[in-house]
Amino acid sequence: MAAIAQQLLNPVVVFYISLFFLSMNSIVVIVNSAADTTFTPSDNYLIDCGSSSTSNLHNGKTFKSDKQSTSYLSTKSDIQVAVPSADVPSPIYLTARIFVEESTYVFRMVRPGWHWIRLHFFPMENSEFDLTHSVFSVETDDVVLLHSFSITNKTTWIMKEYLLNVTTERVTLRFSPLRNSAAFINAIEVVSAPDSLISDVGSSIVPIGEFTGLSTHSYQTLYRLNMGGATITPNNDTLGRTWEPDLRYLMARGLAKTVSVAPSIITYPEGVSPLIAPNLVYATAIEMADARVTNPNFNVTWRFDIDPAFGYVLRLHFCDIVSKALNDLYFNVYINGKMAISALDLSSITGDLAVPYYKDIVANASVLSDKLMIQIGPINQETGSVNAILNGLEVLKMSNSVGSLDGEFGVDGSKSSSAGTKGTVAAVGFAMMFGAFVGLGAMVIKWYKRPQDWERRNSFSSWLLPLHAGHSSFMTGSKNSGGSQKSGYGNFYSSTLGLGRYFSFAELQEATKNFDQNAVIGVGGFGNVYIGVLDDGTQVAVKRGNPQSEQGITEFQTEIQMLSKLRHRHLVSLIGYCDENSEMILVYEYMSNGPLRDHLYGKNLPPLSWKQRLEISIGAARGLHYLHTGAAQGIIHRDVKTTNILLDENLIAKMADFGLSKNAPTMEQTHVSTAVKGSFGYLDPEYFRRQQLTDKSDVYSFGVVLFEVLCARPAINPALPREQVNLAEWAMQWKRKGLLDKVIDPHLVGVINPESMKKFAEAAEKCLADYGVDRPSMGDVLWNLEYALQLQEASSQAKKDEENRAAAEAATAAAPSPRAVIPPIPTTADVKANADHRSTGGDDDDDEPAAQVHAISEDSGTAMFAKQLTEINGR
């Protein structure tokens, strides 16, 4: 220790340390807040070739003459030329150096890592050489930048921008003219770029997966566009880049329109630095023109020329500056007709509006032709806005397997083995951006406003089935259990897995008429849900995973594990699955009356009576109560909403969709700390604020559900005046004023018993308490709902009796009959005593066999197989 201490005091070491800090200060990116993020390049060579003096450009850059420091240049013979003026954007194009033999510029590097190399060319007229006839190559020691390059139009100036990961102490730029030709250059920039600019990992489209190795490639910027905005010049960009407007690449311009906001409202999250793109990029976008009025079924398309022999990184920049509310905008992104991002939900990633997000997608020969087409379009669903946006786009050409960015030969003459890219595509890529996604999501969640205005569009949010072959290694025996027994070997291991029956793909094809579009009963980012009929006549709901879905494997695994452990009359049952041909299919019991929400509004179904609504609410509450208390370690649903409460043919309510479920905290913990998930509009403000999950978060969401049931309107309706958008806030205001009856479903007016409504609304109100500790347990909610039901029944009974009595009295006016016995209306104490009598409100109908569902015993075997399932999925 003493030795180390002494060393620390050694003046030489101290000197080095301070030098280190000094250089850290001057060169390192400081990502604190948007405002003070700056980047000072440690290497910053700006050379005005052939010029005799320094050029100060209006864009803030100062280019030095290469005469002032000719040490860069090594050449046997060169010619300097100049023109007094020309139609060029900058004076650096007015002078040039012409090389008739191979010549090099050498730049010493202070710091390794990413560097911009920008080459400026203008084939100016001069008496020495006709530059429109020059053909030449430009290479570094290991990257071919330009091969047989020429500019044949003498009025065209060109800037080529490259991004190279420099690992050596010097960068050499070698200009090699073709025989009897000449090379020329007007200006050169070699400038450090931040390390964070390109991460090693992107995602690939075909096959869907993660693409690693981005940092080993070199890049040429082919396009850098500011969608819906003006040109951004280098002095307005955080890294001296130029962004051009997108208009010339936009097809069918009538389908698109521009949108913009004040750049100052753009808020960078942690993890996205303004160095990635300035706020000017995110403050403008292209969106769908009049998406709300015309036929919404179209895409907005941009088209670019590219060389399909190379791979490309497409960096898509998004920032939701169009929505009025969170979770109202979902859209797809396609690249050359292939789904690249399915049901992108920016607000669930960024947690707020006007927060930048970008994504790198690697596209190679398998998707490309000589055109690159980027399309954005709405996902086909009813709720939320029909719209799609794009704020910015960068198209970066990737160096090929021999390090060339132009032509198929490398610097050493070796030939590229194949078109495309040398990075690795992770084989099965469900994980794809999912990790990054969740990671980012977790990082960028911020709390600015009360949660409002949102509704997740996908009623089935979970998905993707990662069951691989190889079950046989732990095939321990068959416990066949119910369902139709057709698929022999499948049953064998699926039941040991605790996943229910195994279905062959052919069987499910037949059941769904080959996944007929007409059989679709639900759509989501994960894929479709189909109704199917098994050959024994059983109706089932078949969820077929879309391999492009970003809703990930984790959620799917959670759901499958949860479902296989849970059996309850008020939980939707999993019947089986299919993983043949890498299909990802789950088969559930069919709930013929669909989501509760459809019976409340929007679908013109006959209105439910108040009694039916109470019974459905009670059923759902039982399901939740069972989740919270019935399972060995309680389970938090996390996504309670009216689309996740499904109704069977008898209108029995069952909770569905456990994709977001989490095990409840154990005794020692008081909460589960987790990235915020769930559906806005239903989201517990405390959970959102503190990211601490308890079962009281479900209680909050359930409170919103109760008001939805009473008022028959969505939890979030952005179309309404501001104060009405959020159902929870709005209903609570009326409740507090004692005027709730003014805003209830008109179908209930006059039939609902006021006492029953009061009790119900009180239960809902308690659920919506700001703090979890102030909210009732699901068991308490259940009692209150049962009480509300008794009040309603007693009152209708009293009414009926009253009517009967009146009728009887009228009929037998002469002969007095014995007085009808009117049952007394129960008091709170009665109901409480009654409810207390049962151990809990939730388990009472456990012993009823759930329809179509084979029992899977809750023995340790199930848990063990669930664990093995996790293991074979490599987690």
Contacts made by residues 85-92, CB under 8 angstroms, sequence distance 24+:
86/122, 86/124, 86/155, 87/155, 88/122, 88/157, 89/157, 90/55, 90/57, 90/59, 90/120, 91/48, 91/55, 91/57, 92/48, 92/51, 92/55, 92/57, 92/63, 92/120, 92/186, 92/187
By CB under 6 A, tell whether 215 contacts ligand NAG: yes
By CB under 6 A, tell whether 295 contacts ligand NAG: no
Task: Give the shortest CB-377-to-ligand NAG separation in angstroms.
Answer: 4
Q: Which amino acid is at 644?
A: N
Task: Give the shortest CB-331-to-ligand NAG separation in angstroms.
Answer: 10
> What secondary structure, in 3-state letters, does 95-106 show?
EEEEECCCEEEE
Q: How far apart are CA 799 and CA 780, in angstroms?
A: 29
Task: Give the shortest CB-214-to-ligand NAG separation in angstroms.
Answer: 8
Catalytic-residue membership of 639: yes
Let me know: does 635 contact 698? Beta carbons within 8 Å. no
- With CB under 6 A as the contact rule, the residue among 127, 153, 297, 633 that binds ligand NAG is 297
Sheet with 520-524: list strands edge to edge: 501-502, 574-578, 585-589, 539-545, 527-533, 520-524
Task: Give the shortest CB-517-to-ligand NAG separation in angstroms.
Answer: 13
- With CB under 6 A as the contact rule, the residue among 72, 157, 302, 334 that binds ligand NAG is 334
Closest CA to 788 of 627, 611, 656, 600: 611
- With CB under 6 A as the contact rule, the residue among 93, 223, 298, 526 that binds ligand NAG is 298
Which among 296-304, 512-520, 634-642, 808-816 is the span making contact with ligand NAG, rule CB under 6 A? 296-304
By CB under 6 A, tell whether 860 contacts ligand NAG: no
Choose the catalytic residue: 43, 579, 639, 780: 639
For residues 29 and 533, which CB has a smaller minimum distance to ligand NAG in the complex?
29
Task: Give the x-and-dash track for 426-455 against ligand NAG (CB under 6 A).
Answer: ------------------------------
Closest CA to 638 of 456, 869, 444: 456
Task: Give the shortest CB-238-to-ligand NAG separation in angstroms.
Answer: 17
The residue with its CB nearest to ligand NAG is 215
By CB under 6 A, tell whether 299 contacts ligand NAG: yes
> What secondary structure, in 3-state letters, does 52-91 show?
CCCEECCCCCEEEECCCCHHHEECCCEEEEECCCCCCCCH
Let me know: does 192 contact 125? Beta carbons within 8 Å. no
Which among 297-305, 479-487, 555-563, 740-748 is the span making contact with ligand NAG, rule CB under 6 A? 297-305
Q: What are phi and psi of 377, to 5 degrees?
A: -160, 160
Q: How far apart are CA 360 and CA 313, in angstroms?
A: 6
Task: Give the shortest CB-455-to-ligand NAG separation in angstroms.
Answer: 22
Burial of 335-372, coded b for 16+ CB within 10 Å and e otherwise, reads bbebbbbbbbbbbbbbbbbbbbbbbbbbbbeebbeeeb
Q: What are phi and psi of 657, to 5 degrees?
A: 70, 85
Q: How far apart are CA 362 and CA 295, in angstroms?
A: 32
By CB under 6 A, tell whether 212 contacts ligand NAG: no
- With CB under 6 A as the contact rule, the residue among 99, 114, 318, 760 that binds ligand NAG is 114
Helix (H, G, I), strand (E, B) or coil at 628: helix
By CB under 6 A, tell whether 873 contacts ligand NAG: no
Phi/psi region, residue 859 (left: phi>0; alpha: psi -120 to 50; beta: rest), is beta
Which among 293-301, 465-473, 619-627, 628-636 is the span making contact with ligand NAG, rule CB under 6 A? 293-301
Q: Which residues contact 383 (CB under 8 A, 6 or more apart)?
A: 455, 457, 714
Let me know: does 791 contact 831? Beta carbons within 8 Å. no
- With CB under 6 A as the contact rule, the residue among 153, 167, 518, 839 that binds ligand NAG is 167
Let me know: does 391 contact 376? Beta carbons within 8 Å. no
Applying the rule CB under 6 A, the residues between 53 and 72 that interact with ligand NAG are none
Which among 63-71, 292-300, 449-457, 616-624 is the span making contact with ligand NAG, rule CB under 6 A? 292-300
Task: Give the shortest CB-426-to-ligand NAG separation in angstroms.
Answer: 19
User: How many Å from the N-terminal Cα to the C-terminal Cα in the chain?
Assistant: 42
Task: Give the shortest CB-193-to-ligand NAG separation in angstroms.
Answer: 9
For residues 168 and 414, which CB has a smaller minimum distance to ligand NAG in the complex?
168
- With CB under 6 A as the contact rule, the residue among 41, 91, 113, 392 that binds ligand NAG is 113
Let me know: does 674 contact 691? Beta carbons within 8 Å. yes
- With CB under 6 A as the contact rule, the residue among 216, 504, 674, 724 that binds ligand NAG is 216
For residues 341 and 664, which CB has a smaller minimum distance to ligand NAG in the complex?
341
For residues 75 and 215, which CB has a smaller minimum distance to ligand NAG in the complex?
215
By CB under 6 A, tell whether 165 contacts ligand NAG: yes
Q: How far apart are CA 52 and CA 25, in angstroms?
A: 34
- With CB under 6 A as the contact rule, the residue among 377, 420, 524, 685 that binds ligand NAG is 377
Which among 248-256, 291-299, 314-322, 478-486 is the span making contact with ligand NAG, rule CB under 6 A? 291-299
For residues 39 and 298, which CB has a smaller minimum distance to ligand NAG in the complex?
298
Let me know: does 159 contact 116? Beta carbons within 8 Å. no
Task: Give the shortest CB-840-to-ligand NAG separation in angstroms.
Answer: 50
For residues 17 and 252, which CB has a smaller minimum distance to ligand NAG in the complex?
252
For residues 337 and 849, which CB has a smaller minimum distance to ligand NAG in the complex?
337
Contacts with ligand NAG by CB under 6 A: the residue count is: 14
By CB under 6 A, tell whether 526 contacts ligand NAG: no
- What are the structure tokens assigned to 500, written together? 């229910």
Task: Give the shortest CB-106-to-ligand NAG separation in angstroms.
Answer: 20
By CB under 6 A, tell whether 375 contacts ligand NAG: yes
Let me know: does 41 contact 27? Beta carbons within 8 Å. yes
Let me know: does 269 contact 292? Beta carbons within 8 Å. no
H helices of 512-661, in order, are: 553-565, 596-600, 610-625
Let me know: does 125 contact 151? Beta carbons within 8 Å. no
Q: How far apart are CA 139 and CA 392, in angstroms?
A: 30
By CB under 6 A, tell whether 195 contacts ligand NAG: yes
Task: Give the shortest CB-217-to-ligand NAG separation in angstroms.
Answer: 10
By CB under 6 A, tell whether 843 contacts ligand NAG: no
Which among 270-278, 295-303, 465-473, 640-648 is the span making contact with ligand NAG, rule CB under 6 A? 295-303
Which among 97-105, 294-302, 416-424, 818-826 is the span making contact with ligand NAG, rule CB under 6 A? 294-302
Catalytic positions: 639
Q: Which residues bind ligand NAG (CB under 6 A)?
A: 113-114, 165, 167, 195, 215-216, 297-299, 334, 337, 375, 377
